[in-house]
């Protein structure tokens, strides 16, 4: 598809020459242009026509109206850290990058809420909240690049869901532009509003298929007074779950409960050139973060450590002595994605299960892999306290990339059948995007998928917003 000169002029007069770029006009180097039509999946080749950088909701609405009149598909683009292909533009689309929409719009010191444009980088939002004496708790390894709008569009989770929940719990209000260019505003900044359907929730986790989020009002909380990191070696998988159960008997709030295998720890040690923090080898490790409010809380933590050692749930454990050591401990967990994706070819899966079904699922999964794919190694880690496993299959050296991915495609449906059997979900927090849309039926019934289609039709009648994502 080529864009007529008249249409190019229309967009240029709307946004100015420096905020709209065309595939066939080399105002920007090709690699940078294409990078706005992709994410971290690295599976799809971007190929799109127009890149736009609106500065406010009205401009987003004008761009969508332009696309609507000219039947051009639209891809909303955030920080492009997604793992599901949701921000991939590969079919002549117009990409709407929110990256120039990063302003604070309002602050309510009474409730503690912040209204910002959706393109604000998540870490900057953390800073803005802290400067006002508050705390925004959604955090994970990509928040230095992800946008708050992208986080809402994927209903992001992260490392502290076990205490604070998913981002859905923190969204008070949204402003969105629908597939016709209409601007809708939901709820504003109020806490209580039982006036019919709470429509903002439709947009949270909708991966840009129902509307473009342009502004959001987020609830803030108080920062934990202090915290402590406990890094432990665990002798077997069932002990991880027992250990989690044991944290319920503590009076200290648990902020994070993350696990990794020896395989993952070794990959981080190799990639980041850091020492092994444990003197003895163990198959599993659990990193826990606790909130500490007063000195006596440290005693509670030591007595917890004694109990879990006595009960045999852990074989070794270290309590970070200072914030520097705490940061180092976190690196062993947060460095895993980077260590395995840069040094190896991996097929990622982000799944969730009820905790009590974790062990039987993993036994079934192990049996499946060893009978059908004996050469595959698995990097297993994740937010285990939330029932969330990152199950990454690592390519054996002697297999070509093409052969590896084709074999993984065959493993996926068998794994999703096992997930169904154990009441799990095929996507815990990364979303469906392009990557998992053919498998949506493993987690959603055909009646549910039909309702999703009807909702999409009502908000995006020409199917222009991120078409082909989520829905098969
Ligand atoms: C190292 C690493 C660790 C990660 N850890 C986690 C984790 O712990 N938990 C977790 O949940 N995720 C994690 N992710 C995945 C990813 O960071 C999240 O999905 C994040 O929320 C995506 O935000 P983004 O701004 O990068 O969105 P993008 O990748 O740009 O887009 C994601 C989807 O949202 C849509 N979108 C983006 N902005 C908007 C908008 N303003 N309006 C409407 N639609 C929009 C896009 O079209 C796309 O469908 C991780 C990623 C990396 C690279």
Give the pLDDT of residue 50: 97
Question: Do 115 and 210 belong together in one domain?
Answer: yes
- 37: CATH: 3.30.43.10
Axis-axis angle for helices 57-69, 5-15 (nearest 10): 170
Instruction: State how many domains the chain has.
Output: 4
Residue 117 lies in a domain: yes
Q: From CA 336, how far away is CA 313, in angstroms rounded?
A: 23
Of 2-6, 121-125, 390-394, give the lowest mean pLDDT range. 2-6
Host H or E run for residue 78: none
Q: Using an 8 Å Cβ cutoff, are 155 and 169 in contact?
A: no
Domain boundary among 45, 77, 97: 97
Q: Using an 8 Å Cβ cutoff, are 168 and 205 in contact?
A: yes
- 432: CATH: 3.30.70.2740
Residue 42 lies in a domain: yes
Token readout for 104 is: 């604070």
**Residue-number span of the structural domain to which 253 is assigned:** 226-338
- Percentage of the chain beyond pLDDT 70 is 100
* DSSP per position, 8-46: HHHHHHHH-GGGEEETTS-SS-HHHHHHTT--TT--S--
- 263: CATH: 3.30.70.2190
The mean per-residue pLDDT over the stretch 261-274 comes to: 96
The widest CA-to-CA distance across the chain, in whole angstroms, is: 76
Mean pLDDT, the chain, rounded, equals: 95
Give the pLDDT of residue 42: 80
Residue 455 lies in a domain: no
∠ Cα 1 150 352 (to 5°) = 115
Q: Using an 8 Å Cβ cutoff, are 83 and 40 in contact?
A: yes
Question: What residues does 75 pair with on adjacent strands?
Answer: 95
* pLDDT of residue 55 exceeding 90: yes
Question: Do 348 and 334 belong together in one domain?
Answer: no
Give the pLDDT of residue 46: 97
State the distance from the centre of ligand 1 to the C-alpha of 402, rounded, in angstroms: 26
Host H or E run for residue 97: strand 94-97
Give the pLDDT of residue 245: 96
**Closest ligand 1 atom to Cα of 431:** 19
Residues with CB under 6 A from ligand 1: 39-40, 75-83, 86-87, 98, 118, 140-142, 146-147, 149-151, 153-154, 156-158, 207-208, 212-213, 337, 429-430, 433, 466, 469
Domain boundary among 97, 124, 154: 97
């Amino acid at each position: 598809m080529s864009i007529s000169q008249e249409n190019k002029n229309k967009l240029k007069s709307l946004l100015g020459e420096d905020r709209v770029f065309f595939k066939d006009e080399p105002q920007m180097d090709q690699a940078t242009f294409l990078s706005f039509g992709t994410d971290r999946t690295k599976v799809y080749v971007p190929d799109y026509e127009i890149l736009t950088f609106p500065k406010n909701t009205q401009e987003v609405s004008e761009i969508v109206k332009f696309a609507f009149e000219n039947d051009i598909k639209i891809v909303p683009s955030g920080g492009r850290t997604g793992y599901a292909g949701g921000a991939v533009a590969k079919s002549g689309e117009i990409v709407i990058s929110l990256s120039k929409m990063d302003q604070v719009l309002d602050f309510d010191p009474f409730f503690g809420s912040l209204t910002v444009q959706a393109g604000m980088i998540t870490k900057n939002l953390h800073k803005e909240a802290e400067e006002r004496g508050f705390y925004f708790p959604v955090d994970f390894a990509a928040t230095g690049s992800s946008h708050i709008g992208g986080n809402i569009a994927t209903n992001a989770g992260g490392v502290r869901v076990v205490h604070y929940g998913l981002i859905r719990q923190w969204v008070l209000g949204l402003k969105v532009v629908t597939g016709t260019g209409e601007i809708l505003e939901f709820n504003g900044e109020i806490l209580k509003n039982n006036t019919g359907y709470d429509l903002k929730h439709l947009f949270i986790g909708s991966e840009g298929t129902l509307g473009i989020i342009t502004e959001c009002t987020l609830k803030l909380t108080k920062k934990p007074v202090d915290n402590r990191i406990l890094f432990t070696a665990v002798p077997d998988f069932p002990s991880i779950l027992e250990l989690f159960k044991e944290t319920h008997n503590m009076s200290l709030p648990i902020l994070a409960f993350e696990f990794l295998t020896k395989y993952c720890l070794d990959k981080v040690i190799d990639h980041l050139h850091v020492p092994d923090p444990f003197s003895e080898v163990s198959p599993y490790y659990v990193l826990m973060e606790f909130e500490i409010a007063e000195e006596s809380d440290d005693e509670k933590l030591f007595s917890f450590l004694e109990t879990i050692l006595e009960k045999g749930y852990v074989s070794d454990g270290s309590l970070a002595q200072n914030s520097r050591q705490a940061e180092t401990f976190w690196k062993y967990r947060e460095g895993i994605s980077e260590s395995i994706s840069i040094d190896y070819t991996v097929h990622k899966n982000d799944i969730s299960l009820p905790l009590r079904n974790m062990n039987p699922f993993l036994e079934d999964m192990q049996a499946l892999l060893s009978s059908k794919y004996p050469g595959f190694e698995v990097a297993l880690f994740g937010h285990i306290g939330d029932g969330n496993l990152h199950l990454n299959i690592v390519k054996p050296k002697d297999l070509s990339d093409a052969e590896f991915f084709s074999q993984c495609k065959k493993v996926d449906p068998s794994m999703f059948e096992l997930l169904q059997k154990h009441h799990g979900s095929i996507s815990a927090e990364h979303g469906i995007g392009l990557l998992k849309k053919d498998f949506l039926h493993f987690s959603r019934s055909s009646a549910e998928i039909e309702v999703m289609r009807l909702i999409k039709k009502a908000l995006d009648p020409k199917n222009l917003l991120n078409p082909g994502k989520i829905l098969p």
